[in-house]
């Protein structure tokens, strides 16, 4: 045997190992599970909690089990096989999941980041305990738009829980309560016998900002299963607290700095209202005239500014303490607070238009003002308090907007928001008190201040619709569909543009012999926004407002879809777009933007062979929010849409669909040796086995023989990249045919 033979034999196993690693590199598993029990020894007749811990890697999150399964995302689901050795007590309980309202789904869902925990209480009936079952879940990431579905099995036996005979009953004894406050320290073994470390409990309910898609949930064939979904957690076993540093990191990820900046801008805007602007020189003259020297004047001015910040920030703190995380979620999703905010914003807008003025009781203002006349440090504080109260009629709606915006977020958001607002609000008073000569550069008060107030009224009126829209989407009232919402916005901002041009006047407005250049530019920007909104009435996606408007599915008159559906069959595009046969599952599955295609791969392959076209495979899911975003923002592009219509046979393969296949189509996967019984399981297994990828969205171009034409792509919101991808697939297909 020569050296080259020896070298090749030594290198062959190494190369095989490297190839194996490369093939597995695309199979992601962002969550790992471990199992534990609340206590290691129980007697027959006692209860014990089964604990399922999930550890989730950074930038991924796991859907919980305690939200409406019809919302869109697919809940985590546990199925327990019936056995005479135990019975379920109550429902599955997720421990402190986070909550988030998503405009795309039109409702609230729950999820875990970092760690998650589920608990199920059982009652032990026999010494030989056997608890078996399956669980299915989905993890998603907003970093690269991937969502992945998983399923696994679990087993609890006497190895994890030692069962003793039932203790003899004693007089006046009550059944032992069994829900300890912390999991036992020893790890349990999974069904495979592999040792898994116990994970910490789920984090506290500080919402993050993810958007995601869920997973497929089908029962295992061998299990006579009882499906368990969770209800809202009751006051039982508390979760292990997460270190404060983790909570800080999550709050930072929510964009507190961005919210601070927005609140700061609001504070600067509040200075330009007729209740506040004239008070700047009046207040500054008070400090410069009442102080014996400049140093004392500067000190009082600084104290005055700090007092304003303290008063407003205290308001934010009170809001945070009163509502907290649970209250914030109630405010962001329940119809009652949303309708209340809608009414409040309408009232504020009417007040800004001049119908009436919102003021505090004069007797209260008089008492506060009297305290300000006392002088000294206390007098400075009450002077600041007087400013806050007197300016309430103008700043109240703006402050209310900040508090409402922060109510659905973190606990710190009201505090940060009010700090940013008050910092901007107090800054001019303080600076002009320190440098009184700057006062000469201020413009004089006049009708322009009232114009600012009226413009804010139009903006308040437009913002009010968002709260009505949230309640409408959550409860499916159907009173504020997308086109109605857009029509109202178009009217509101059109009137605002006419007001800026001086064509619309209110009774308290001053004469406007000419318009200033800044006012003209504001009018141009307003009318440009109106022109941008108008195509939305006919079905344009309006991508810049995609997260703010009601969903596209609520639009009754989508002109682009109607045109596609009614295209004459004699046109080349329509003829080329005809399907070869009726698609399977088209009674409950559909493609967006009027596209035609299949939901079964074999049908797509036959049609592709008959028409001489490549196949566009869309690995997608019902609960895949990133798939919906790709369809709304990329597939809607005219160039992308034309290529999909004319050049490809489309196959949308849903990896989370629960439709059961005919029994003759059931098969055991060579990848995980599990039997696949549903449409979703079939195509999830196909994606993994064929392409070594388990995330969605995922797009593949192939011929009728399943030969991949170009490198597949995933989540990418650049339409031009998608056009290049589709063109490369057609070129590769033609080259292969030649």
Phi-psi region of 542 (alpha: psi -120 to 50; beta: other; left: phi over 0): left
Quick one: pLDDT at residue 460?
79
Mean pLDDT of 604-613: 93
Quick one: pLDDT at residue 379?
65
Confidence of residue 731 (pLDDT cuts 50, 70, 90): very high
Residue-wise pLDDT for 656-669, tens only, equals: 888 889 999 999 98
User: Could you tell me the two tokens for 544?
Assistant: 């810049």
Q: Residue 660: beta bridge partners?
A: 678
Mean pLDDT of the chain: 73
Distance of alpha carbon 559 from alpha carbon 428, whole angstroms = 51
Provide the percentage of residues in the chain whose pLDDT is more than 70: 63
Quick one: pLDDT at residue 609?
92
- If one counts every other C-beta atom within 10 angstroms of the C-beta of residue 314, the result is 13
Of the two residues 24 and 546, the one the predictor is more confident about is 546
Quick one: pLDDT at residue 394?
57
Per this entry, what is the length of the chain? 738
Distance of alpha carbon 614 from alpha carbon 605, whole angstroms = 9
Judged by average pLDDT, the poorest of 19-23, 416-420, 473-477 is: 19-23
Quick one: pLDDT at residue 230?
40
Distance of alpha carbon 433 from alpha carbon 370, whole angstroms = 22
User: Could you tell me the two tokens for 158?
Assistant: 């006497």
Q: What is the CATH number of domain 580-737?
A: 3.40.30.10
User: Which fold is adopted by the domain 31-249?
Assistant: Immunoglobulin-like (2.60.40)
Q: Write the CB contacts of 73 (distance below 8 Å, at least 6 apart in sequence).
A: 63, 67, 105, 109, 138, 212, 213, 214, 623, 625
User: Could you tell me the two tokens for 731?
Assistant: 């070129």
If we measure between CA atoms, which residue out of 39, 95, 52 comes closest to residue 191? 52
Output the CA angle 41-44-46, nearest 5 degrees: 70
pLDDT at 294 over 70: no
Quick one: pLDDT at residue 305?
78
| CATH 3.40.30.10 residue ranges for the chain | 580-737
Mean pLDDT of 156-164: 86
Give, to the nearest 10 degrees, the angle between helix 256-270 and helix 244-253.
60
User: Could you tell me the two tokens for 564?
Assistant: 């596609």
Quick one: pLDDT at residue 314?
79
Judged by average pLDDT, the poorest of 115-124, 379-388, 483-492 is: 379-388
Q: Give the DSSP letter of residue 594.
A: G
pLDDT at 628 over 50: yes
């Amino acid at each position: 045997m020569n050296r080259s033979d020896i070298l090749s034999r030594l290198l062959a196993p190494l190369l095989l190992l490297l190839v194996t690693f490369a093939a597995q590199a695309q199979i992601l598993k962002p969550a790992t599970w471990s199992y534990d029990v609340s206590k290691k020894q129980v007697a027959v007749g006692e209860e014990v909690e089964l604990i399922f811990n999930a550890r989730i890697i950074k930038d991924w999150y796991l859907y919980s089990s305690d939200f409406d399964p019809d919302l869109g995302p697919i809940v985590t689901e546990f199925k327990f096989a019936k056995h005479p050795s135990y019975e379920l007590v109550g429902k599955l309980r997720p421990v402190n999941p986070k909550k988030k309202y998503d405009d795309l789904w039109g409702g609230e869902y729950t999820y875990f980041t970092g760690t998650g925990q589920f608990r199920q209480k059982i009652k032990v009936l026999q010494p030989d305990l056997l608890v078996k079952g399956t669980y299915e879940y989905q993890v998603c990431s907003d970093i690269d738009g991937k969502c992945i579905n998983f399923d696994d099995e679990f087993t609890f036996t006497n190895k994890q829980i030692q069962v003793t005979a039932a203790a003899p009953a004693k007089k006046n004894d009550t059944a032992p309560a069994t829900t300890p406050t912390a999991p036992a320290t020893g790890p349990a073994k999974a069904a495979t016998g592999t040792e898994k470390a116990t994970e910490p409990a789920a984090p506290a309910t500080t919402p993050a900002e993810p958007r995601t898609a869920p997973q497929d949930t089908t029962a295992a064939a061998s299990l006579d299963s009882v499906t368990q979904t969770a209800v809202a957690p009751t006051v039982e076993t508390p979760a292990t607290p997460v270190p404060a540093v983790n909570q800080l990191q999550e709050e930072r990820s929510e964009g507190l700095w961005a919210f601070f900046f927005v609140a700061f801008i609001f504070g600067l805007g509040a200075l330009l209202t007729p209740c506040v602007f004239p008070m700047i020189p009046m207040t500054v003259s008070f400090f410069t005239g009442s102080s014996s020297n400049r140093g004392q004047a500067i000190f009082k001015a600084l104290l005055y500014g700090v007092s304003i910040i303290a008063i407003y920030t205290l308001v934010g703190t009170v809001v945070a303490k009163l509502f907290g995380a649970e209250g914030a979620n109630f405010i962001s999703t329940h119809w009652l607070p949303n309708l209340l905010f809608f009414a409040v914003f309408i009232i504020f807008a009417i007040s800004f238009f001049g119908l009436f003025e919102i003021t505090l009781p004069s007797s209260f203002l008089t008492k506060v003002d009297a305290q300000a006349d006392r002088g000294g440090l206390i007098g400075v504080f009450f002077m600041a308090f007087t400013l806050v109260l007197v300016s309430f009629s103008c700043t109240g709606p703006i402050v209310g907007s900040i508090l409402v915006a922060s109510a659905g977020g973190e606990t710190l958001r009201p505090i940060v928001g009010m700090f940013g607002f008050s910092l901007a609000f107090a800054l001019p008073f303080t600076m002009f008190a320190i440098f009184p000569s700057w006062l000469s550069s201020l413009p004089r008060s006049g009708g322009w201040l009232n114009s600012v107030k009226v413009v804010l009224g139009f903006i308040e009126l437009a913002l009010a619709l968002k709260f009505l829209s949230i309640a409408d989407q959550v409860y499916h009232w159907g009173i504020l569909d997308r086109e109605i919402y857009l029509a109202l916005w178009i009217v509101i901002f059109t009137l605002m543009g006419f007001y800026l041009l001086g064509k619309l006047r209110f009774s308290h407005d001053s004469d406007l012999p000419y318009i200033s250049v800044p006012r003209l530019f504001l009018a141009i920007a307003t009318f440009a926004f109106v022109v941008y909104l108008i195509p939305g009435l006919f079905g344009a996606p309006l991508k810049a407002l995609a997260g703010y408007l009601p969903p596209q599915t609520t639009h009754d008159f989508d002109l682009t879809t109607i045109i596609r559906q009614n295209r004459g069959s004699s046109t080349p595009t329509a003829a080329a777009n005809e399907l070869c046969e009726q698609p399977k599952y088209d009674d409950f599955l559909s493609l967006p933007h009027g596209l035609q295609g299949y939901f079964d791969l074999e049908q797509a392959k036959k049609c592709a062979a008959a028409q001489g076209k490549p196949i566009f495979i869309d690995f997608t899911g019902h609960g895949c929010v990133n798939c919906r975003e790709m369809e709304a923002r990329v597939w809607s592009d005219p160039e992308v849409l034309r290529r999909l219509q004319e050049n490809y046979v489309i196959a949308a393969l849903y990896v989370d669909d629960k439709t059961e296949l005919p029994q003759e189509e059931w098969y055991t996967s060579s990848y995980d040796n599990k039997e696949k019984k549903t449409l979703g399981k079939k195509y999830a297994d196909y994606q993994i086995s064929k392409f070594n990828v388990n995330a969605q969205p995922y797009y593949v171009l192939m011929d009728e023989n399943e030969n991949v034409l170009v490198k597949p792509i995933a989540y990418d919101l650049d339409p031009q990249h998608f056009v290049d991808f589709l063109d490369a697939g057609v070129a590769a297909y033609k080259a292969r045919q030649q």
